[in-house]
A and B are shown apart, each in its own frame.
Chain A
Amino acid sequence: MRHALKAFPQLLRTGFAEAVAYRAEFLIWMFSTNMPLVMLALWAAVARSGPVGSYTQKGFAAYYLAALLVRLLTGSWVVWEMTMEIRQGTLALRLLRPIHPLLAYSAENLAAVPMRGIVAIPLIVIFLWNVRDQLGGDPILWTILAPALLGSWLLTFLVMSIIGTLGLWFESASSLFEAWLGISAILSGYLIPLDLFPAAVREVALVLPFRFLLSFPVELVLGRVDRWHALALLVAQWGYVAAALLATRLVWRSGLRRYAAYGG
Protein backbone atom coordinates (compact mmCIF):
# COMPACT_ATOMS: atom_id res chain seq x y z
CA MET A 1 0.00 0.00 0.00
CA ARG A 2 2.89 2.35 0.78
CA HIS A 3 4.28 1.71 -2.68
CA ALA A 4 0.90 2.25 -4.24
CA LEU A 5 0.43 5.61 -2.53
CA LYS A 6 3.86 6.67 -3.62
CA ALA A 7 3.09 5.73 -7.20
CA PHE A 8 -0.36 7.34 -7.22
CA PRO A 9 0.68 10.91 -8.17
CA GLN A 10 2.52 9.60 -11.23
CA LEU A 11 -0.46 7.41 -12.13
CA LEU A 12 -2.61 10.54 -12.03
CA ARG A 13 -0.14 12.50 -14.15
CA THR A 14 -0.01 9.77 -16.79
CA GLY A 15 -3.78 9.41 -16.69
CA PHE A 16 -4.14 13.12 -17.28
CA ALA A 17 -1.68 13.01 -20.17
CA GLU A 18 -3.73 10.21 -21.69
CA ALA A 19 -6.95 12.14 -21.24
CA VAL A 20 -5.35 15.10 -22.99
CA ALA A 21 -4.33 12.84 -25.86
CA TYR A 22 -7.97 11.75 -26.14
CA ARG A 23 -9.41 15.26 -25.80
CA ALA A 24 -11.53 15.00 -28.93
CA GLU A 25 -13.12 11.79 -27.67
CA PHE A 26 -13.74 13.31 -24.27
CA LEU A 27 -15.45 16.25 -25.87
CA ILE A 28 -17.77 13.96 -27.79
CA TRP A 29 -18.47 11.78 -24.74
CA MET A 30 -19.30 14.91 -22.85
CA PHE A 31 -21.84 15.98 -25.44
CA SER A 32 -23.25 12.46 -25.50
CA THR A 33 -24.17 12.85 -21.85
CA ASN A 34 -27.31 14.74 -22.77
CA MET A 35 -30.06 12.68 -21.16
CA PRO A 36 -30.72 15.19 -18.35
CA LEU A 37 -31.24 17.86 -21.00
CA VAL A 38 -33.62 15.62 -22.95
CA MET A 39 -35.59 15.10 -19.76
CA LEU A 40 -35.42 18.79 -18.97
CA ALA A 41 -37.03 19.55 -22.35
CA LEU A 42 -39.99 17.37 -21.42
CA TRP A 43 -40.45 18.73 -17.91
CA ALA A 44 -39.97 22.32 -19.01
CA ALA A 45 -42.82 21.83 -21.46
CA VAL A 46 -44.93 20.24 -18.74
CA ALA A 47 -44.18 22.97 -16.22
CA ARG A 48 -45.19 25.75 -18.63
CA SER A 49 -48.72 25.38 -17.31
CA GLY A 50 -47.64 25.52 -13.65
CA PRO A 51 -45.31 23.72 -11.24
CA VAL A 52 -45.22 19.94 -10.90
CA GLY A 53 -44.91 18.84 -7.30
CA SER A 54 -42.40 21.23 -5.79
CA TYR A 55 -40.70 21.90 -9.11
CA THR A 56 -41.24 24.99 -11.22
CA GLN A 57 -39.73 25.35 -14.68
CA LYS A 58 -36.70 26.92 -13.07
CA GLY A 59 -36.65 24.20 -10.44
CA PHE A 60 -36.47 21.54 -13.13
CA ALA A 61 -33.70 23.45 -14.88
CA ALA A 62 -31.70 23.57 -11.66
CA TYR A 63 -32.34 19.89 -10.95
CA TYR A 64 -31.24 18.59 -14.33
CA LEU A 65 -28.25 20.91 -14.60
CA ALA A 66 -27.08 19.71 -11.21
CA ALA A 67 -27.69 16.10 -12.29
CA LEU A 68 -25.59 16.67 -15.39
CA LEU A 69 -22.84 18.22 -13.29
CA VAL A 70 -22.79 15.31 -10.85
CA ARG A 71 -22.81 12.80 -13.70
CA LEU A 72 -19.85 14.46 -15.42
CA LEU A 73 -17.89 14.66 -12.18
CA THR A 74 -18.54 11.15 -10.92
CA GLY A 75 -18.76 9.11 -14.12
CA SER A 76 -16.49 6.18 -14.77
CA TRP A 77 -16.00 3.80 -17.67
CA VAL A 78 -13.81 1.17 -16.10
CA VAL A 79 -16.23 -1.61 -17.09
CA TRP A 80 -15.63 -1.08 -20.78
CA GLU A 81 -11.90 -0.85 -20.22
CA MET A 82 -11.75 -4.06 -18.21
CA THR A 83 -13.95 -6.01 -20.59
CA MET A 84 -11.77 -4.94 -23.48
CA GLU A 85 -8.52 -5.77 -21.73
CA ILE A 86 -9.83 -9.15 -20.67
CA ARG A 87 -10.85 -9.92 -24.24
CA GLN A 88 -7.57 -8.78 -25.73
CA GLY A 89 -5.52 -10.49 -23.04
CA THR A 90 -3.67 -7.32 -22.09
CA LEU A 91 -4.93 -7.68 -18.53
CA ALA A 92 -1.97 -10.06 -18.12
CA LEU A 93 0.43 -7.15 -18.48
CA ARG A 94 -1.39 -5.23 -15.77
CA LEU A 95 -1.27 -8.25 -13.47
CA LEU A 96 2.49 -8.50 -13.88
CA ARG A 97 3.03 -5.04 -12.47
CA PRO A 98 3.48 -4.77 -8.73
CA ILE A 99 0.44 -2.54 -8.29
CA HIS A 100 -3.21 -3.49 -7.91
CA PRO A 101 -4.86 -3.13 -11.34
CA LEU A 102 -8.00 -1.61 -9.81
CA LEU A 103 -5.91 1.08 -8.19
CA ALA A 104 -4.33 1.85 -11.54
CA TYR A 105 -7.76 2.01 -13.18
CA SER A 106 -9.06 4.31 -10.47
CA ALA A 107 -6.18 6.71 -11.04
CA GLU A 108 -6.86 6.75 -14.78
CA ASN A 109 -10.53 7.52 -14.14
CA LEU A 110 -9.89 10.24 -11.60
CA ALA A 111 -7.24 11.86 -13.74
CA ALA A 112 -9.68 12.23 -16.60
CA VAL A 113 -12.28 14.19 -14.62
CA PRO A 114 -10.86 17.62 -15.52
CA MET A 115 -10.84 16.66 -19.20
CA ARG A 116 -14.37 15.28 -19.07
CA GLY A 117 -15.76 18.51 -17.82
CA ILE A 118 -13.44 21.10 -19.24
CA VAL A 119 -16.09 22.73 -21.41
CA ALA A 120 -19.30 21.53 -19.85
CA ILE A 121 -18.68 22.26 -16.21
CA PRO A 122 -18.09 26.01 -16.58
CA LEU A 123 -21.16 26.20 -18.84
CA ILE A 124 -23.28 24.30 -16.36
CA VAL A 125 -22.09 26.50 -13.53
CA ILE A 126 -23.04 29.62 -15.52
CA PHE A 127 -26.50 28.23 -16.24
CA LEU A 128 -26.87 27.22 -12.62
CA TRP A 129 -25.98 30.80 -11.66
CA ASN A 130 -29.01 31.91 -13.66
CA VAL A 131 -31.28 29.80 -11.49
CA ARG A 132 -29.37 30.39 -8.28
CA ASP A 133 -32.54 31.14 -6.32
CA GLN A 134 -33.32 27.43 -6.74
CA LEU A 135 -30.07 26.33 -5.09
CA GLY A 136 -29.53 25.64 -1.42
CA GLY A 137 -27.98 28.39 0.68
CA ASP A 138 -26.72 26.36 3.62
CA PRO A 139 -22.88 26.31 3.68
CA ILE A 140 -22.96 23.06 5.67
CA LEU A 141 -24.71 21.34 2.78
CA TRP A 142 -22.14 22.69 0.34
CA THR A 143 -19.41 21.35 2.61
CA ILE A 144 -21.03 17.94 2.71
CA LEU A 145 -21.19 18.02 -1.09
CA ALA A 146 -17.46 17.32 -1.46
CA PRO A 147 -17.39 13.99 0.41
CA ALA A 148 -20.75 13.14 -1.15
CA LEU A 149 -19.35 13.58 -4.65
CA LEU A 150 -16.32 11.48 -3.75
CA GLY A 151 -18.67 8.84 -2.36
CA SER A 152 -20.75 8.90 -5.55
CA TRP A 153 -17.68 8.45 -7.67
CA LEU A 154 -16.34 5.63 -5.50
CA LEU A 155 -19.66 3.83 -5.53
CA THR A 156 -19.92 4.16 -9.31
CA PHE A 157 -16.34 3.02 -9.78
CA LEU A 158 -16.61 0.07 -7.40
CA VAL A 159 -19.85 -1.23 -8.89
CA MET A 160 -18.26 -0.97 -12.32
CA SER A 161 -15.18 -2.80 -11.04
CA ILE A 162 -17.30 -5.61 -9.66
CA ILE A 163 -19.17 -6.05 -12.91
CA GLY A 164 -15.96 -5.67 -14.90
CA THR A 165 -14.33 -8.38 -12.84
CA LEU A 166 -17.27 -10.64 -13.58
CA GLY A 167 -15.94 -10.41 -17.11
CA LEU A 168 -13.38 -12.98 -16.03
CA TRP A 169 -16.26 -15.48 -15.86
CA PHE A 170 -18.54 -14.32 -18.65
CA GLU A 171 -17.36 -13.35 -22.06
CA SER A 172 -18.97 -9.97 -21.87
CA ALA A 173 -20.18 -8.70 -18.57
CA SER A 174 -20.84 -5.33 -20.15
CA SER A 175 -24.42 -6.39 -20.88
CA LEU A 176 -24.90 -6.98 -17.20
CA PHE A 177 -23.65 -3.49 -16.67
CA GLU A 178 -26.20 -2.16 -19.12
CA ALA A 179 -28.92 -3.64 -16.96
CA TRP A 180 -27.47 -1.88 -13.95
CA LEU A 181 -27.35 1.32 -15.99
CA GLY A 182 -30.99 1.02 -16.99
CA ILE A 183 -32.20 0.41 -13.46
CA SER A 184 -30.02 3.10 -11.96
CA ALA A 185 -31.14 5.63 -14.60
CA ILE A 186 -34.55 5.46 -12.99
CA LEU A 187 -33.73 4.84 -9.35
CA SER A 188 -30.81 7.26 -9.06
CA GLY A 189 -32.87 10.27 -10.09
CA TYR A 190 -31.05 10.63 -13.40
CA LEU A 191 -34.26 10.65 -15.43
CA ILE A 192 -36.80 11.89 -12.92
CA PRO A 193 -36.42 13.58 -9.53
CA LEU A 194 -37.12 10.84 -7.00
CA ASP A 195 -39.75 12.92 -5.15
CA LEU A 196 -41.98 12.95 -8.23
CA PHE A 197 -42.45 9.17 -8.05
CA PRO A 198 -45.59 7.75 -6.45
CA ALA A 199 -45.09 7.39 -2.70
CA ALA A 200 -44.54 3.62 -2.71
CA VAL A 201 -41.81 3.74 -5.36
CA ARG A 202 -40.23 6.76 -3.74
CA GLU A 203 -39.92 5.10 -0.34
CA VAL A 204 -38.02 2.20 -1.91
CA ALA A 205 -35.86 4.38 -4.14
CA LEU A 206 -34.77 6.56 -1.25
CA VAL A 207 -33.08 3.72 0.64
CA LEU A 208 -31.57 1.81 -2.28
CA PRO A 209 -27.91 2.46 -3.12
CA PHE A 210 -28.85 3.99 -6.49
CA ARG A 211 -29.88 7.24 -4.82
CA PHE A 212 -26.33 7.75 -3.60
CA LEU A 213 -24.92 7.54 -7.09
CA LEU A 214 -26.54 10.78 -8.20
CA SER A 215 -29.65 12.01 -6.44
CA PHE A 216 -27.99 12.60 -3.08
CA PRO A 217 -25.40 15.15 -4.28
CA VAL A 218 -28.06 16.79 -6.45
CA GLU A 219 -30.33 17.13 -3.42
CA LEU A 220 -27.44 18.80 -1.60
CA VAL A 221 -26.90 21.28 -4.43
CA LEU A 222 -30.58 22.17 -4.47
CA GLY A 223 -30.73 22.34 -0.67
CA ARG A 224 -33.63 19.89 -0.60
CA VAL A 225 -32.46 18.12 2.58
CA ASP A 226 -31.82 19.60 6.00
CA ARG A 227 -28.42 19.46 7.73
CA TRP A 228 -28.95 16.49 10.00
CA HIS A 229 -30.66 14.45 7.38
CA ALA A 230 -27.83 15.25 4.98
CA LEU A 231 -25.26 14.02 7.49
CA ALA A 232 -27.21 10.83 8.04
CA LEU A 233 -27.38 10.32 4.28
CA LEU A 234 -23.64 10.87 3.99
CA VAL A 235 -23.05 8.14 6.57
CA ALA A 236 -25.42 5.85 4.69
CA GLN A 237 -23.62 6.59 1.43
CA TRP A 238 -20.23 5.77 2.84
CA GLY A 239 -21.71 2.63 4.37
CA TYR A 240 -22.66 1.56 0.85
CA VAL A 241 -19.16 2.51 -0.32
CA ALA A 242 -17.61 0.31 2.36
CA ALA A 243 -19.88 -2.58 1.41
CA ALA A 244 -19.02 -2.14 -2.25
CA LEU A 245 -15.33 -2.06 -1.40
CA LEU A 246 -15.65 -5.33 0.46
CA ALA A 247 -17.60 -6.91 -2.37
CA THR A 248 -15.04 -5.69 -4.89
CA ARG A 249 -12.23 -7.33 -2.93
CA LEU A 250 -14.07 -10.61 -2.73
CA VAL A 251 -15.06 -10.68 -6.39
CA TRP A 252 -11.60 -9.59 -7.52
CA ARG A 253 -9.87 -12.28 -5.51
CA SER A 254 -12.02 -15.08 -6.73
CA GLY A 255 -11.89 -13.64 -10.24
CA LEU A 256 -8.14 -13.75 -10.10
CA ARG A 257 -8.24 -17.35 -8.92
CA ARG A 258 -10.40 -18.23 -11.84
CA TYR A 259 -8.15 -16.34 -14.22
CA ALA A 260 -5.15 -18.21 -12.83
CA ALA A 261 -6.93 -21.50 -13.36
CA TYR A 262 -8.20 -20.90 -16.87
CA GLY A 263 -6.04 -18.19 -18.31
CA GLY A 264 -7.24 -15.06 -20.06
Chain B
Amino acid sequence: MRTVNVIRAQLRASLSLAVQYRLDFVVEGLLAILWMAVTLVPLLVVFQARQQIVGWTFPEMLLVLGWFVGLKGLLEGAVSPSLMNVIEHVRKGTLDFVLLKPVDAQLLVSLAKIEPWRSIDLFGAAAIFLYAFRQLGRWPSSTDLLLAAAMLGTAVVVMYSIAILVVSIAFFAVRVDNLLYLFQSIFDVARWPSSIFRGTLAIVFTYVLPLALMTTYPALALLGKLTLPTTVGALVGTALFAAFARAIWRVSIARYTSASS
Protein backbone atom coordinates (compact mmCIF):
# COMPACT_ATOMS: atom_id res chain seq x y z
CA MET B 1 0.00 0.00 0.00
CA ARG B 2 2.80 2.33 0.91
CA THR B 3 4.49 1.53 -2.38
CA VAL B 4 1.31 2.37 -4.26
CA ASN B 5 1.09 5.69 -2.46
CA VAL B 6 4.69 6.49 -3.21
CA ILE B 7 4.24 5.72 -6.87
CA ARG B 8 1.08 7.77 -6.99
CA ALA B 9 2.89 10.73 -5.45
CA GLN B 10 5.71 10.34 -7.94
CA LEU B 11 3.35 10.23 -10.89
CA ARG B 12 1.61 13.32 -9.62
CA ALA B 13 4.92 15.14 -9.32
CA SER B 14 5.85 14.12 -12.87
CA LEU B 15 2.52 15.37 -14.11
CA SER B 16 2.83 18.77 -12.46
CA LEU B 17 6.36 19.07 -13.71
CA ALA B 18 5.25 18.28 -17.24
CA VAL B 19 2.39 20.74 -17.13
CA GLN B 20 4.70 23.54 -15.98
CA TYR B 21 6.34 23.82 -19.34
CA ARG B 22 3.54 25.32 -21.32
CA LEU B 23 5.03 25.20 -24.77
CA ASP B 24 6.38 21.71 -24.23
CA PHE B 25 3.00 20.39 -23.33
CA VAL B 26 1.43 21.36 -26.63
CA VAL B 27 4.50 20.75 -28.75
CA GLU B 28 5.24 17.32 -27.30
CA GLY B 29 1.71 16.20 -28.03
CA LEU B 30 2.05 17.30 -31.63
CA LEU B 31 5.51 15.76 -31.78
CA ALA B 32 4.21 12.36 -30.78
CA ILE B 33 1.78 12.51 -33.71
CA LEU B 34 4.49 13.73 -36.06
CA TRP B 35 6.86 10.90 -35.15
CA MET B 36 4.10 8.41 -35.71
CA ALA B 37 3.67 9.82 -39.19
CA VAL B 38 7.42 9.67 -39.76
CA THR B 39 7.34 6.00 -38.80
CA LEU B 40 4.46 5.32 -41.18
CA VAL B 41 5.76 7.08 -44.27
CA PRO B 42 8.46 4.53 -45.21
CA LEU B 43 5.90 1.72 -45.06
CA LEU B 44 3.52 3.65 -47.27
CA VAL B 45 6.28 4.17 -49.80
CA VAL B 46 7.44 0.56 -49.66
CA PHE B 47 3.97 -0.83 -50.20
CA GLN B 48 3.52 1.32 -53.26
CA ALA B 49 6.15 -0.89 -54.85
CA ARG B 50 5.11 -4.26 -53.41
CA GLN B 51 2.03 -6.15 -52.24
CA GLN B 52 3.98 -8.18 -49.74
CA ILE B 53 7.34 -7.97 -48.01
CA VAL B 54 8.94 -11.17 -46.73
CA GLY B 55 5.46 -12.63 -46.32
CA TRP B 56 3.88 -9.64 -44.59
CA THR B 57 1.08 -7.63 -46.14
CA PHE B 58 0.61 -3.94 -45.40
CA PRO B 59 -2.03 -4.33 -42.66
CA GLU B 60 -0.04 -7.16 -41.08
CA MET B 61 3.03 -5.00 -41.00
CA LEU B 62 0.95 -2.22 -39.48
CA LEU B 63 0.35 -4.50 -36.51
CA VAL B 64 4.09 -4.73 -35.91
CA LEU B 65 4.30 -0.97 -36.25
CA GLY B 66 1.44 -0.54 -33.78
CA TRP B 67 3.31 -2.50 -31.14
CA PHE B 68 6.43 -0.56 -31.98
CA VAL B 69 4.74 2.83 -31.54
CA GLY B 70 3.16 1.80 -28.25
CA LEU B 71 6.31 0.29 -26.80
CA LYS B 72 8.44 3.18 -27.96
CA GLY B 73 6.07 5.51 -26.14
CA LEU B 74 6.49 3.38 -23.03
CA LEU B 75 10.25 3.31 -23.42
CA GLU B 76 10.72 7.02 -24.02
CA GLY B 77 7.88 8.20 -21.84
CA ALA B 78 8.38 6.11 -18.72
CA VAL B 79 11.39 3.81 -18.74
CA SER B 80 14.12 6.07 -20.08
CA PRO B 81 13.26 9.24 -18.13
CA SER B 82 13.16 7.29 -14.87
CA LEU B 83 16.42 5.59 -15.55
CA MET B 84 18.04 8.85 -16.59
CA ASN B 85 16.92 10.00 -13.21
CA VAL B 86 18.77 7.15 -11.49
CA ILE B 87 21.89 7.85 -13.49
CA GLU B 88 21.66 11.45 -12.40
CA HIS B 89 21.30 10.26 -8.80
CA VAL B 90 24.38 8.09 -9.11
CA ARG B 91 26.36 10.93 -10.63
CA LYS B 92 25.39 13.41 -7.95
CA GLY B 93 25.69 10.83 -5.21
CA THR B 94 22.08 11.34 -4.13
CA LEU B 95 21.02 7.77 -4.72
CA ASP B 96 21.54 7.28 -0.99
CA PHE B 97 18.34 9.21 -0.41
CA VAL B 98 16.46 6.77 -2.60
CA LEU B 99 18.02 3.73 -0.96
CA LEU B 100 17.17 5.13 2.47
CA LYS B 101 13.45 5.06 1.72
CA PRO B 102 11.55 2.08 3.04
CA VAL B 103 10.30 0.99 -0.40
CA ASP B 104 11.82 -1.36 -2.96
CA ALA B 105 14.46 0.74 -4.67
CA GLN B 106 14.10 -0.85 -8.08
CA LEU B 107 10.40 -0.09 -8.15
CA LEU B 108 10.93 3.39 -6.81
CA VAL B 109 13.55 4.43 -9.30
CA SER B 110 11.90 2.84 -12.28
CA LEU B 111 8.80 4.98 -11.94
CA ALA B 112 10.46 8.09 -10.64
CA LYS B 113 9.78 10.22 -13.65
CA ILE B 114 7.39 9.91 -16.54
CA GLU B 115 6.50 12.11 -19.46
CA PRO B 116 2.72 12.01 -19.51
CA TRP B 117 2.30 13.30 -23.05
CA ARG B 118 3.92 10.15 -24.37
CA SER B 119 0.65 8.38 -23.55
CA ILE B 120 -0.48 9.81 -26.88
CA ASP B 121 1.64 7.06 -28.41
CA LEU B 122 -0.62 4.48 -26.81
CA PHE B 123 -3.67 6.06 -28.45
CA GLY B 124 -1.72 6.17 -31.69
CA ALA B 125 -0.96 2.46 -31.39
CA ALA B 126 -4.63 1.73 -30.75
CA ALA B 127 -5.60 3.72 -33.84
CA ILE B 128 -3.08 1.81 -35.95
CA PHE B 129 -4.48 -1.52 -34.72
CA LEU B 130 -8.05 -0.51 -35.50
CA TYR B 131 -7.12 0.61 -38.99
CA ALA B 132 -5.03 -2.51 -39.64
CA PHE B 133 -7.82 -4.89 -38.66
CA ARG B 134 -10.36 -3.01 -40.74
CA GLN B 135 -7.99 -3.43 -43.68
CA LEU B 136 -7.61 -7.11 -42.89
CA GLY B 137 -11.38 -7.38 -42.76
CA ARG B 138 -11.41 -9.62 -39.70
CA TRP B 139 -10.95 -9.28 -35.99
CA PRO B 140 -8.67 -11.29 -33.73
CA SER B 141 -10.23 -14.10 -31.72
CA SER B 142 -10.29 -13.89 -27.95
CA THR B 143 -7.54 -16.53 -27.76
CA ASP B 144 -5.40 -14.40 -30.04
CA LEU B 145 -6.05 -11.35 -27.89
CA LEU B 146 -5.14 -13.22 -24.75
CA LEU B 147 -1.97 -14.51 -26.33
CA ALA B 148 -1.11 -11.03 -27.60
CA ALA B 149 -1.60 -9.62 -24.12
CA ALA B 150 0.76 -12.26 -22.74
CA MET B 151 3.29 -11.35 -25.42
CA LEU B 152 2.87 -7.67 -24.61
CA GLY B 153 3.62 -8.58 -21.00
CA THR B 154 6.84 -10.30 -22.02
CA ALA B 155 7.74 -7.34 -24.24
CA VAL B 156 7.37 -4.90 -21.36
CA VAL B 157 9.28 -7.13 -18.98
CA VAL B 158 12.13 -7.59 -21.45
CA MET B 159 12.36 -3.89 -22.16
CA TYR B 160 12.32 -3.06 -18.50
CA SER B 161 14.97 -5.68 -17.77
CA ILE B 162 17.27 -4.32 -20.43
CA ALA B 163 16.87 -0.87 -18.98
CA ILE B 164 17.62 -2.14 -15.48
CA LEU B 165 20.74 -3.83 -16.82
CA VAL B 166 21.85 -0.57 -18.39
CA VAL B 167 21.35 1.25 -15.11
CA SER B 168 23.20 -1.42 -13.20
CA ILE B 169 26.18 -0.57 -15.34
CA ALA B 170 25.79 3.02 -14.15
CA PHE B 171 26.97 1.95 -10.71
CA PHE B 172 30.28 0.81 -12.14
CA ALA B 173 30.99 3.21 -14.98
CA VAL B 174 29.24 6.47 -14.35
CA ARG B 175 28.62 7.88 -17.80
CA VAL B 176 26.16 5.44 -19.28
CA ASP B 177 23.29 7.77 -20.09
CA ASN B 178 24.57 7.42 -23.62
CA LEU B 179 24.19 3.66 -23.39
CA LEU B 180 20.51 4.10 -22.70
CA TYR B 181 20.37 6.41 -25.67
CA LEU B 182 22.08 3.74 -27.75
CA PHE B 183 19.48 1.19 -26.70
CA GLN B 184 16.72 3.60 -27.68
CA SER B 185 18.21 3.95 -31.11
CA ILE B 186 18.70 0.21 -31.55
CA PHE B 187 15.07 -0.28 -30.56
CA ASP B 188 14.24 1.42 -33.86
CA VAL B 189 15.02 -1.91 -35.49
CA ALA B 190 11.90 -3.34 -33.84
CA ARG B 191 9.68 -1.40 -36.23
CA TRP B 192 10.11 -4.13 -38.83
CA PRO B 193 9.14 -7.80 -38.52
CA SER B 194 12.17 -9.83 -37.49
CA SER B 195 11.96 -11.95 -40.65
CA ILE B 196 13.38 -8.97 -42.57
CA PHE B 197 16.74 -9.89 -41.18
CA ARG B 198 18.73 -12.87 -42.30
CA GLY B 199 21.78 -14.63 -40.99
CA THR B 200 23.60 -13.25 -37.98
CA LEU B 201 21.37 -10.22 -37.53
CA ALA B 202 18.29 -12.45 -37.33
CA ILE B 203 19.88 -14.43 -34.51
CA VAL B 204 21.03 -11.30 -32.69
CA PHE B 205 17.62 -9.65 -32.78
CA THR B 206 15.83 -12.82 -31.69
CA TYR B 207 18.06 -14.17 -28.96
CA VAL B 208 20.73 -11.67 -27.92
CA LEU B 209 18.74 -8.46 -28.04
CA PRO B 210 15.25 -9.91 -28.20
CA LEU B 211 13.61 -7.24 -30.34
CA ALA B 212 11.60 -9.89 -32.19
CA LEU B 213 9.96 -10.74 -28.91
CA MET B 214 8.83 -7.16 -28.43
CA THR B 215 6.96 -6.39 -31.62
CA THR B 216 6.97 -9.33 -34.02
CA TYR B 217 5.64 -11.98 -31.62
CA PRO B 218 2.76 -9.86 -30.30
CA ALA B 219 1.82 -9.03 -33.90
CA LEU B 220 1.94 -12.73 -34.85
CA ALA B 221 -0.21 -13.47 -31.82
CA LEU B 222 -2.86 -11.01 -32.98
CA LEU B 223 -2.82 -12.67 -36.39
CA GLY B 224 -3.18 -16.11 -34.80
CA LYS B 225 0.10 -17.17 -36.34
CA LEU B 226 2.16 -17.57 -33.19
CA THR B 227 3.04 -21.23 -32.66
CA LEU B 228 2.88 -22.90 -29.27
CA PRO B 229 6.61 -23.71 -28.97
CA THR B 230 7.49 -20.11 -29.78
CA THR B 231 5.02 -18.90 -27.14
CA VAL B 232 6.39 -21.15 -24.44
CA GLY B 233 9.95 -20.33 -25.43
CA ALA B 234 9.20 -16.62 -25.25
CA LEU B 235 7.60 -16.89 -21.81
CA VAL B 236 10.38 -19.00 -20.34
CA GLY B 237 13.08 -16.88 -21.93
CA THR B 238 11.52 -13.71 -20.59
CA ALA B 239 11.26 -15.09 -17.07
CA LEU B 240 14.91 -16.10 -17.13
CA PHE B 241 15.96 -12.75 -18.52
CA ALA B 242 14.01 -10.81 -15.89
CA ALA B 243 15.46 -12.91 -13.09
CA PHE B 244 18.92 -12.31 -14.47
CA ALA B 245 18.38 -8.53 -14.62
CA ARG B 246 17.01 -8.46 -11.08
CA ALA B 247 20.01 -10.42 -9.82
CA ILE B 248 22.43 -8.04 -11.51
CA TRP B 249 20.54 -5.08 -10.06
CA ARG B 250 20.90 -6.51 -6.56
CA VAL B 251 24.59 -7.13 -6.97
CA SER B 252 25.05 -3.57 -8.25
CA ILE B 253 23.11 -2.02 -5.39
CA ALA B 254 25.12 -4.03 -2.90
CA ARG B 255 28.32 -2.87 -4.50
CA TYR B 256 27.15 0.70 -4.61
CA THR B 257 26.20 0.69 -0.95
CA SER B 258 29.45 -0.81 0.21
CA ALA B 259 31.51 1.40 -2.06
CA SER B 260 30.11 4.65 -0.76
CA SER B 261 30.23 3.83 2.95
The short answer to whether A and B are in direct contact, CB under 8 Å, is: yes
- Residues of A bordering B, CB below 8 Å: 24-25, 28-29, 31-35, 38-39, 41-43, 45-46, 48-49, 52-53, 170-172, 175-176, 178-179, 182-183, 185-186, 191-192, 196-198
Complex Cα spacing A176 to B31, Å: 9
Is there contact, CB below 8 Å, between A34 and B188? yes
Is there contact, CB below 8 Å, between A178 and B31? yes
> When A34-B185, A52-B49 are in contact, do A182 and B31 touch as well, CB less than 8 Å?
yes
User: Interface readout for B34-77 with A: 1 if CB under 8 Å, 0 if not?
Assistant: 11011001100110111001100000000000000000000000
Is there contact, CB below 8 Å, between A175 and B42? no
Is there contact, CB below 8 Å, between B181 and A28? yes
- Could you tell me the distance in whole angstroms from the C-beta of A112 to the nearest C-beta in chain B? 15
- Could you tell me the distance in whole angstroms from the C-beta of A44 to the nearest C-beta in chain B? 8
Is there contact, CB below 8 Å, between B188 and A35? yes
Interface flag for B96 (CB, 8 Å): no
Select the stretch in B99-107, B191-199, B215-223, B244-252 that faces chain A: B191-199
- Residues of B bordering A, CB below 8 Å: 21, 23-24, 27-28, 30-31, 34-35, 37-38, 41-42, 45-46, 48-50, 53-54, 175, 178-179, 181-182, 184-186, 188-189, 191-192, 196-197, 201
- Could you tell me the distance in whole angstroms from the C-beta of B46 to the nearest C-beta in chain A? 6
Is there contact, CB below 8 Å, between A28 and B178? yes
* B182 neighbours in A (Cβ, 8 Å): 28, 31-32
29 contacts between A and B (CB under 8 A): A25-B178, A28-B178, A28-B182, A29-B178, A31-B185, A32-B184, A32-B185, A33-B185, A34-B185, A35-B188, A41-B196, A41-B201, A46-B46, A46-B49, A46-B53, A49-B50, A52-B50, A172-B21, A175-B27, A175-B28, A178-B31, A179-B30, A179-B31, A179-B34, A182-B38, A192-B41, A196-B45, A196-B49, A197-B45
Is there contact, CB below 8 Å, between A42 and B46? yes
Picked from A34, A39, A52, the residue with its CB within 8 Å of the CB of B42 is A39
> When A29-B178, A45-B54 are in contact, do A170 and B23 touch as well, CB less than 8 Å?
yes
Is there contact, CB below 8 Å, between A183 and B34? yes
- Could you tell me the distance in whole angstroms from the C-beta of A256 to the nearest C-beta in chain B? 20
Picked from B27, B48, B178, B189, the residue with its CB within 8 Å of the CB of A176 is B27
Picked from A25, A41, A171, A191, the residue with its CB within 8 Å of the CB of B24 is A171
Is there contact, CB below 8 Å, between A32 and B181? yes
* B49 neighbours in A (Cβ, 8 Å): 46, 52-53, 196
- Could you tell me the distance in whole angstroms from the C-beta of A56 to the nearest C-beta in chain B? 13
> When A34-B186, A53-B49, A179-B30 are in contact, do A191 and B196 touch as well, CB less than 8 Å?
no
> When A32-B185, A41-B192, A192-B45 are in contact, do A182 and B34 touch as well, CB less than 8 Å?
yes
